[in-house]
C-alpha cells in the first residue's frame, strides 16, 4: 500500500512540475522512473530547479534566499512562524531568463489543469522577491508585499489582508485572484 501511495504522489509531483518547464518528456520519464515521492522530488529538482515540500521547516527554507525559483506544496501546510519569501530568482532557474518566482499551491494533470488546491496557513507572509506569483490554492494569513511585480493568479486566494509597502508596489501588482480582507498600502 505504501508503494502504491508513493507512486501516486510521485505521479502527481511529476505532473505538477511538467507544467513548470517546456520538456514534458523529461517530466514523464521522471514519473515513470520514480519509485517514491522523495525520489520524484529529487528527480524534479535536478531537472527543473523546483522544490516540493510538505513540512513547515522545508517550506520556510525553500522560499528563503537559499531556496528555489518555484516552490510547490502537495497538501495543506501550516507554518507557525512568519514566512519571508526572499532572494532573486529567474524563471526555470536559468540566469538568462527573466526574474521570476512562483508558489504553486496546487496539483495539476498532464494538460496543466488544476486537479487539487491546497492551503498554506501562516500568521504573516512577507514577499521580498521580485515578480513573485501565487498560483492555485489559498494563503490563509496576511500578505505583505515589499517587492515589485507581485501576482495573485486568478486561481489563487488570500484569506486575509494584502498590504503593499508603497503605491508603486501596488501599481506593479497583478491581482486577478481573490482577497477576502482589505487590500491597502501600509
For 8-28, the pLDDT digits (tens) are 444 444 444 444 444 333 333
Q: What percent of the chain has pLDDT over 70?
A: 73
Domain boundaries, the chain: 1-48, 51-185
When the pLDDT of each residue in the chain is averaged and rounded to a whole number, the result is 81
**Cα 130 from chain centre:** 14
Cell 504573516 -> residue: 124
Strands 106-108 and 114-117 come out as antiparallel
The cell for 89 is 530568482
pTM of the complete model: 0.76
Tell me which of 20 and 64 has the higher pLDDT: 64
Q: What percent of the chain has pLDDT over 90?
A: 71
- With 0-12 CB in 10 A as exposed, 13-18 as middle and 19+ as buried, what is 175? middle
pLDDT at position 7: 36
Using pLDDT thresholds of 50, 70 and 90, give the confidence band for residue 176: very high
Residues 6+ apart with CB under 8 A from 58: 51
For 121-156, the pLDDT digits (tens) are 999 999 999 999 999 999 999 999 999 999 999 999
Describe the crossing of helices 37-48 and 24-33 by its angle, rounded to 10 degrees: 160
For residues 97-105, average pLDDT:
97
Residue 40 has pLDDT above 90, yes or no: no
Amino acid at each position: 500500500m505504501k508503494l502504491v501511495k508513493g507512486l501516486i504522489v510521485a505521479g502527481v509531483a511529476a505532473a505538477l512540475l511538467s507544467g513548470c518547464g517546456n520538456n514534458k518528456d523529461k517530466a514523464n520519464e521522471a514519473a515513470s522512473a520514480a519509485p517514491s515521492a522523495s525520489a520524484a522530488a529529487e528527480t524534479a529538482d535536478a531537472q527543473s530547479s523546483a522544490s516540493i515540500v510538505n513540512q513547515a521547516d522545508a517550506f520556510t527554507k525553500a522560499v528563503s534566499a537559499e531556496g528555489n525559483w518555484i516552490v510547490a506544496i502537495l497538501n495543506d501546510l501550516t507554518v507557525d512562524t512568519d514566512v519571508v519569501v526572499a532572494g532573486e530568482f529567474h524563471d526555470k532557474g536559468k540566469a538568462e531568463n527573466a526574474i521570476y518566482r512562483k508558489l504553486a499551491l496546487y496539483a495539476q494533470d498532464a494538460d496543466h489543469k488544476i486537479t487539487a488546491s491546497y492551503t498554506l496557513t501562516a500568521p504573516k507572509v512577507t514577499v521580498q522577491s521580485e515578480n513573485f506569483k501565487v498560483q492555485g490554492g489559498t494563503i490563509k494569513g496576511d500578505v505583505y508585499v515589499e517587492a515589485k511585480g507581485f501576482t495573485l493568479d486568478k486561481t489563487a486566494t488570500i484569506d486575509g489582508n494584502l498590504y503593499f509597502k508603497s503605491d508603486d508596489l501596488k501599481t506593479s501588482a497583478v491581482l486577478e485572484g481573490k482577497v477576502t480582507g482589505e487590500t491597502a498600502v501600509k
